[in-house]
């Protein structure tokens, strides 16, 4: 134990004599620890921790390949979703969602300019798969 204490004192004396080298060492350690923490947080959040849905280990996400780009990804259309629901026996439930955009507001006198909103439509089956209970109240934008 006394040898370790002597070694620590020697290192501290050397670091105090060269403050530039000490700053570089401390900065390198800080950047390394920070980068390592960030990477672990991302890996834990996206790959290790399960999704916050019941039976999330049994969920799959499917993309459709457009005919003109077989390597590309395209979301399901309502027609694709209906066909998948009718023809597959592999899945317990099939839920789909797709993108949409809408203009909210008006151009009339005294009205605000229309605002473009992006959103997603989803089927009731998707809500059931994710254990979400949709409400029947209309959405009011203020």
Residue 126 pLDDT level (bands cut at 50, 70, 90)? confident
Question: What's the average model confidence in pLDDT over 15-35?
Answer: 94
Q: ∠ CA 14-21-23 to the nearest 5 degrees?
A: 110
CA separation for the pair 95, 53 (Å, rounded): 14
Q: What is the pTM of this model?
A: 0.48
Residues in the chain, overall count: 142
Contact indicator for 98, 119 with CB cutoff of 8 Å? no
94, exposed or middle or buried, with CB in 10 Å at 0-12, 13-18, 19+?
buried
Predicted confidence at residue 137, as pLDDT, reads 66
Greater confidence (72 vs 141) lies with: 72
- pLDDT tens sequence across 35-71: 999 999 999 888 888 777 777 777 887 777 777 877 7
Whether the per-residue pLDDT at 142 is higher than 60: the answer is no
Tens-place pLDDT, residues 84-117: 888 888 888 888 887 888 888 776 677 777 888 8
> Which of these, 126, 123, 107, lies nearest to 53 by C-alpha position?
126
- At 71-81, the pLDDT tens digits run 777 777 788 88
Ranges of each domain in the chain: 2-48, 56-129
Report the Cα 84 to chain-centroid distance in Å: 26
């Amino acid at each position: 134990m006394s040898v370790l204490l002597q070694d620590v004192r020697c290192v501290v004396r050397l670091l105090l004599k060269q403050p530039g080298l000490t700053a570089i060492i401390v900065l390198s350690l800080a950047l390394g620890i920070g980068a390592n923490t960030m990477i672990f947080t991302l890996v834990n959040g996206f790959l290790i921790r399960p999704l916050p849905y019941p039976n999330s280990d049994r969920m799959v996400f499917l993309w459709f390949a457009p005919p003109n780009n077989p390597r590309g990804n395209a979301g399901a259309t309502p027609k694709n979703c209906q066909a998948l629901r009718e023809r597959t026996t592999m899945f317990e439930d099939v839920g789909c969602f797709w993108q949409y955009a809408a203009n909210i507001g008006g151009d009339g006198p005294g009205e605000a300019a229309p605002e473009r909103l992006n959103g997603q439509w989803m089927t009731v089956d998707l809500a059931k798969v994710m254990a979400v209970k949709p409400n029947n109240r209309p959405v009011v934008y203020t």
